[in-house]
Structure formats: structure tokens, C-alpha cells
A = this chain, B = another copy of it.
Amino acid sequence: MSPRVLYFEDYPPGAVFTGGAYPVTEAEILEFARRWDPQGMHIDPAFASRGPFAGLIASGWHTGAMMMRMLTEVFVPPANLASPGLDELRWLLPVRPGDVLSLRITVTDARRSRSKPDQGIVKSLVEVLNQKGEAVMNLNPVSLMRCQPVAVSLGTTMLAITRRN
């Protein structure tokens, strides 16, 4: 797992972060989908076994939730301010009970905000992989992150200058 990083400056283009090992269970697939995505392929094993995926598969929004959980552990820093959105989310392969998911995140763009110089915009490619190393979901999120406080970039012996909104 990559070391914990904290500010916009820690996400240069080309940086790669990996981590996570999320076990997918039938019980959680059913629980998530009954509440949020009650379609037969996600909540009814018998129906799903006759369908195009020949078995129960996780809701794509469940895969997104598992991804977000891992993202908070290996990528998203406390300096994360918000996400305006994401582009080109693709559900590439079914996610099934017994799979173990992990993440590979590549920073694709990073630039300081012009209007708010204490903030930066980070774009990345997030790949959700299964235990075979196959990508089951890809997406390109945008993150708005706080820049390193001036005191930190000048050295830890200085008094911290905290920036407030």
C-alpha cells in the first residue's frame, strides 16, 4: 500500500497508487441491492442463474461503493475538499460472490486552481481489479484538493499557518 499522502502536491501526473483487498460476498450483494438496486440479477440467485451472467452479480453502484471505501483508504486525503464528478465510468466485467477487489489509481492531470490558489484539481484513472488482475470497473474521477499550507512547504519548524474557509 502506498504511504499516506495529504495534499494536492502529493498527486503529480503519472503517480500510481495501489491497495485494497475487498472480499465480495453474496450476503452483501443481496443486502446492498435489496435496498438500492432491486433488480433480479442482483437480488434473486435463481433468476440470475438463468440470465445473461449465469449467476448473481453485484449492482454496479455496489461496486462503486466498494471502490469509494477503498479509495478513502489508499488515495483520498483529509485534504480532499469535494468531487465535481467523474467521466467515462465503465462496468467491464461482472463482480461475483468470492471476488476480491483492489484498486490501481493513476493520476492523469493535476493543476492548481486559478480562481482559488489554495486549491488544486486532480484527475485520475481509477481501475477496480478482481483477484485475477482483470479490470471490472474503470472511471475517471475529478478531485478538488487543498494545497499544502505555506508553513508545511517552508519547513515544519515554522509556525503553522492554517487556512480557513
* Chain A residues with a Cβ under 8 A of chain B: 35-41, 50-53, 59-61, 64-66, 68-69, 72, 76, 78, 80-91, 164-165
A66 to B35, CA, bound (A): 9
Copies in the complex: 2
B residues in contact with A64, CB < 8 Å: 61, 64
Query: Contact between B61 and A65 (Cβ–Cβ < 8 Å)?
Result: yes
Query: Contact between A52 and B82 (Cβ–Cβ < 8 Å)?
Result: yes
B residues in contact with A83, CB < 8 Å: 60, 91
Query: Contact between A72 and B165 (Cβ–Cβ < 8 Å)?
Result: no
9 additional A-B pairs beyond A35-B69, A82-B91, beta carbons within 8 Å, are A37-B68, A38-B69, A39-B76, A41-B82, A52-B81, A52-B82, A61-B61, A86-B89, A87-B89
A76 to B83, CA, bound (A): 27
A40 to B38, CA, bound (A): 29
Q: A65 contacts which of B65, B76, B80 (Cβ < 8 Å)?
A: B65
State how many angstroms separate the Cβ of A95 from the closest Cβ of chain B: 12
A83 to B65, CA, bound (A): 17
Between A and B, 16 residue pairs with Cβ closer than 8 Å are A36-B65, A36-B69, A37-B72, A38-B69, A51-B81, A51-B165, A52-B82, A52-B165, A61-B61, A61-B64, A83-B91, A84-B91, A85-B88, A85-B91, A87-B87, A87-B89
